[in-house]
Structure 1
Amino acid sequence: MHTHHCDVLILGAGPAGLAAALAAARCGRQVIILDDNPRPGGQIWRDGPRVQLPALARRYQSAVANAPNIRLLSGARLIARPSAQSVLYETAEKSGIVHWQRLILCCGARELFLPFPGWTLPGVTGAGGLQAQIKHGLTLRGERVVIAGSGPLLLAAASTVGKAGGKVVAVIEQAPRAALLRFAAGLWRWPDKLRQLCTLMPGHLHTASQVIEARGEDRLQTVLVRHAGETREIPCDRLATGYGLIPNLEPGLIFGCATLHDALRVDEQQRTSVENIFAAGECTGFGGSELALAEGEIAGYVAAERPEAARQAIARRQRWRRFARALNRTFILPDALKQVVTPQTLLCRCEDIRCGDVQDATCWQEAKLSQRCGMGACQGRSCAASARWLYGWPLPQPREPLSPARTETLIALAKSAP
């Protein structure tokens, strides 16, 4: 068991976490970053053998690597909170405890999956999941790919698929065309985003549409798409779906941080409701990497007791908050998307639980206790969020350990309990 002490502990090495670390380090604080990925960058700057990272990402990674007062612990999963100001983590080889004076939560977000008949067929993945596979070496040469769901991640996924040799035969976006045109017309306020949209905009974009079924024998062969009450079938080899992002709240919830609109609630200085705990990036709400960088910088300076140094970041945050509001208005998910779910649709693939098995439950805990929903390898990270969106259940309180852990790690947790 390794024990570490620091002035500022940062959970997450995405854009917000890297910006927070650099800001706190500039103020002379000793910083530790705890991240469960093998390399820093988070999901948006995910590194890999086939990745050419943006110059901005490389600058942040290099600055963190060269800062003498920043220590990065990669491949480290958060397991529990042994005390009010410490965390227990585990890597593939060891476990450890970090004691901190200030904590900054930069835990990011994950994809929202909406179940539909056939979504567990081989060949069906998340849109971000397919991007991650490609960045780690997957080739799609000659494969026909349908990308479906909602939000700008679909366009980014389409671009990544094309670069990997795949053929994007359709991008199925649930938002109506009028909403997309209004959004695009307002992008003159953010010229970089307008140029990015022009670069990423694919052909075969179908608006106000939804994939309602994936079909195939041993693997995916076709998808059914509904538009304006009509259904058509599209042959394909892969389907990547994603309905936006949901904040990773679990670390904040085990520390008792309050939430607002299913995200961690923060004030203008990125402080949470718990003393000495801050939050930044997509765990406070989705807004893109630019907003995450600004929020992380603010949190880092304030945690280091230098709030006056955050003035420029506060101005940038305001600009990108406006972009985030426009983005979230455009891609809001209507309840009509729920109509595709049938009682036989699989909800929890780990435990083979179907939607009809839990549709009468009143909360996640009830579904978990009665049907083992969420008791498998992913510990409900996918199906819990899907069920909440489908049935309107209240936000569940996470329990420790947050991730499956080795016996010796759990023994260490028991010994460290006050």
Structure 2
Amino acid sequence: MTRDFDLLIIGAGPAGMAAALAAAPSGARIGLIDDNPAPGGQIWRDGVLAQLPAIARHYREALAAAGNIQLFHSTRVVAIAGPHRLLLEDDTCAWCARYSKLILCTGARELLLPFPGWTLPGVTGAGGLQALIKGGVPVAGERLVIAGSGPLLLASAATAKKAGARLLRIVEQAPFAALSAFTLQLPRWPGKLLQAAQLFDRHYRSASFVLAALGNERLEGVRLSQGGKVVEMACERLACGFGLIPNTQLGQALECRLDGQAIAVDDWQACSRDGHYAAGECTGFGGSELALVEGAIAGHAAVGERAAARALWPRRRRWQAFAGQLGRHFALDARLKQLANADTLVCRCEDVAYAEVAGRSGWVDAKLHSRCGMGACQGRICGGATRFLFDWPAPTPRPPFSPTRIDSLAQLAEAAEDAPLP
């Protein structure tokens, strides 16, 4: 089965939702693809304990009211099935989407760095902990340490405290001077200043980072470097996130140029490949405000409404400036590259230890000597880690882009025979 779209949008987070709604008044046939059960992305993630902000509800209601937007939830991109065609899979079947224009709003994922004990039950990502709590995982009464870098630590701590967790420490690797400089800039974005004031917690410590998770069968405690001193504390949960890295896999597969770790775009949010656009955190992390305005610009530009897109440029510049402050002041300390021991797992899917890949020249060399990056996550976790640890280039994506049913893959050859969209 093949469905045709004037505009196909991959990702229904803030950027994807904004892109669809900006393009909708044109009357274009719009398809919005997302692998979650409901639109909102990770920041507006649904769940039994999730409390969606008013702006998220507004965007959902607007999507539902737009008659020319088709939302396909719980749907994943499996492979590229030819020019301007993607093979998709949902919970029941695989099908092909054929498009004239494409907007990538694939978001970002947490950077997880290996350290002794990081694979113990009870250790998660900082954003991962938020998702678990929103999904109904109980944390009431559990002692919690949150470590890593960036504003997500405070947001994760607030979610956990509201769910009844006993917060022991928020461990931020950035030094106090960098955090102070960042705070002094926040009055330029009053809403962010208010948000920071509301989220700040007395357990917050700067110039500190995790050294090891302690325990045998599951997490029992954590060892920290705190202001130059080593401290240990007992806990049942440890959530670590060292910032975000853009999800560029599909963009790379489509041969869109990268700018550092993100998809490169021009003023119109257009990629290097004609007819393809990108918006949101796949083009660089800057928060939901930047994602919303980038998505709107991409949506307008994709349907030829350049005046409407240009009118949003000043708002984008405002939030790009905020993103720049985040990148400068929360830059990762080089000491984090030394956390892993020789036997610390780097690729947890395939049980590949640090010593097995430390001397390799890149992904191909590592795969020839181990199974690093060849497990279920296809390098999504160890790919970001090894890029930070060893300065390897991003791994080249190969289909299928996610674990897929055999009958879905069988449709690739059939899809390639379809005629291109006129």
TM-score class, shorter: over 0.9
Residue 87 (structure 2) pairs with residue 88 (structure 1): yes
Instruction: Give the Cα separation in 1 of the matches to 2:161 and 2:197.
Output: 15
Task: Answer yes or no: is the 8 Å Cα contact 2:379–2:395 preserved in 1.
Answer: no
- In structure 1, the partner of 2:119 is 120
- SS state of the match for residue 102, structure 2? strand
User: Offset at 1:368?
Assistant: 2.1
Instruction: Give the Cα separation in 2 of the matches to 1:319 and 1:279.
Output: 19
- In structure 2, the partner of 1:203 is 202
- SS state of the match for residue 141, structure 1? coil
Counterpart of 2:365, as a letter, is E
Instruction: Give the Cα separation in 2 of the matches to 1:195 and 1:155.
Output: 13
Normalised to the residue count of structure 2, the TM-score between the two structures is 0.97
Task: Answer yes or no: is the 8 Å Cα contact 2:208–2:228 preserved in 1.
Answer: no
- In structure 2, the partner of 1:288 is 287
Instruction: Give the Cα separation in 2 of the matches to 1:310 and 1:395.
Output: 31
User: Offset at 1:160?
Assistant: 0.3
Instruction: Give the Cα separation in 2 of the matches to 1:28 and 1:316.
Output: 26
Task: Answer yes or no: is the 8 Å Cα contact 1:364–1:388 preserved in 2.
Answer: no
User: Offset at 1:74?
Assistant: 0.6
Residue 405 (structure 2) pairs with residue 406 (structure 1): yes
Counterpart of 2:214, as a letter, is R
Residue 195 (structure 2) pairs with residue 182 (structure 1): no
Give CA-to-partner distance per residue, 1:309-341, whole Å, 9 cap, x none. Answer: 123422210110010001111101121111111
Counterpart of 2:82, as a letter, is S
Counterpart of 1:408, as a letter, is D
Instruction: Give the Cα separation in 2 of the matches to 1:322 and 1:274.
Output: 26
Alignment of 1:249-288 (within 5 A): 249-288=248-287
- In structure 1, the partner of 2:133 is 134
Query: Which structure 2 segments of 5+ residues have no match?
Result: 418-422
- In structure 2, the partner of 1:74 is 73
When structure 1 is superposed on structure 2, of 316-325 and 334-343 the one drifting more is 334-343
Normalised to the residue count of structure 1, the TM-score between the two structures is 0.98
Give CA-to-partner distance per residue, 1:260-295, whole Å, 9 cap, x none. Answer: 011000000000000000000000000000000000
User: Offset at 1:228?
Assistant: 4.2
- SS state of the match for residue 382, structure 1? helix
Identity of aligned residues (%): 52
Give CA-to-partner distance per residue, 1:177-203, whole Å, 9 cap, x none. Answer: 111111111111101000100110011
- SS state of the match for residue 300, structure 2? helix
- In structure 2, the partner of 1:10 is 9
When structure 1 is superposed on structure 2, of 103-112 and 373-382 the one drifting more is 373-382
Instruction: Give the Cα separation in 2 of the matches to 1:3 and 1:230.
Output: 60
- In structure 2, the partner of 1:308 is 307
Query: Which structure 1 segments of 5+ residues have no match?
Result: none
Counterpart of 1:325, as a letter, is G
Instruction: Give the Cα separation in 1 of the matches to 2:358 and 2:310.
Output: 49
Residue 64 (structure 2) pairs with residue 51 (structure 1): no
Instruction: Give the Cα separation in 1 of the matches to 2:379 and 2:268.
Output: 32
Instruction: Give the Cα separation in 2 of the matches to 1:128 and 1:345.
Output: 22
- In structure 2, the partner of 1:240 is 239
Task: Answer yes or no: is the 8 Å Cα contact 2:110–2:243 preserved in 1.
Answer: yes
Task: Answer yes or no: is the 8 Å Cα contact 2:279–2:294 preserved in 1.
Answer: yes
Instruction: Give the Cα separation in 2 of the matches to 1:8 and 1:369.
Output: 40
Counterpart of 2:301, as a letter, is V
- In structure 1, the partner of 2:170 is 171
Give CA-to-partner distance per residue, 1:18-77, whole Å, 9 cap, x none. Answer: 000001112211100111111110001101111111101110111011100000111111
The Cα RMSD (Å) is 1.0
User: Offset at 1:365?
Assistant: 2.1
Task: Answer yes or no: is the 8 Å Cα contact 2:147–2:239 preserved in 1.
Answer: yes
Alignment of 1:209-224 (within 5 A): 209-224=208-223
Q: How many residues align?
A: 417
Task: Answer yes or no: is the 8 Å Cα contact 2:169–2:203 preserved in 1.
Answer: yes
Task: Answer yes or no: is the 8 Å Cα contact 1:175–1:207 preserved in 2.
Answer: yes
Instruction: Give the Cα separation in 1 of the matches to 2:220 and 2:393.
Output: 37
- SS state of the match for residue 186, structure 1? helix
Instruction: Give the Cα separation in 1 of the matches to 2:59 and 2:367.
Output: 41
User: Offset at 1:124?
Assistant: 0.3
- In structure 1, the partner of 2:420 is none
User: Offset at 1:229?
Assistant: 3.6
- SS state of the match for residue 155, structure 2? helix
Task: Answer yes or no: is the 8 Å Cα contact 1:84–1:255 preserved in 2.
Answer: no
- In structure 1, the partner of 2:22 is 23
Instruction: Give the Cα separation in 1 of the matches to 2:368 and 2:19.
Output: 39
Instruction: Give the Cα separation in 1 of the matches to 2:257 and 2:251.
Output: 8
Instruction: Give the Cα separation in 2 of the matches to 1:285 and 1:385.
Output: 14
Task: Answer yes or no: is the 8 Å Cα contact 1:104–1:280 preserved in 2.
Answer: yes
